[in-house]
Amino acid sequence: MNQNRTDSKLTIDPNSHLSKNIKAKEAAEMMGVSQRFIRIGIRQKVFNFGCAVKMSSIWTYHISRKKLNGYLGE
């Protein structure tokens, strides 16, 4: 993993695989919908650009920037 520690802050190398994932907030802004819409759509497998895993009672999401751009036709 390409990470650099600077003054106790973690920075991600933009060329690393981690930078290819985006948050539900950014995906929602790109699609013009709510974050909840994105999260529920991913959980229900309506969208193919991400996946969700429930760990205990917390849902964790992986949203691929590349797949979302493809879904949006970009």
pLDDT band at 57 (very low <50, low <70, confident <90, very high): very high
- Please check whether residue 31 lies inside any domain of the structure: yes
First-last CA distance in the chain: 28
The whole-chain average pLDDT of the chain stands at 83
Containing domain of residue 42, as a range? 21-71
52 falls within a domain:
yes
- Is residue 11 situated within a structural domain? no
What residues pair up with 3 in beta bridges, in sequence order?
A: 12
Residue 41: the pLDDT is: 97
The string of pLDDT tens digits covering residues 20-35 is: 899 999 999 999 999 9
Which residues, in sequence order, are CB contacts of 48 under 8 Å at separation 6+? 67, 71
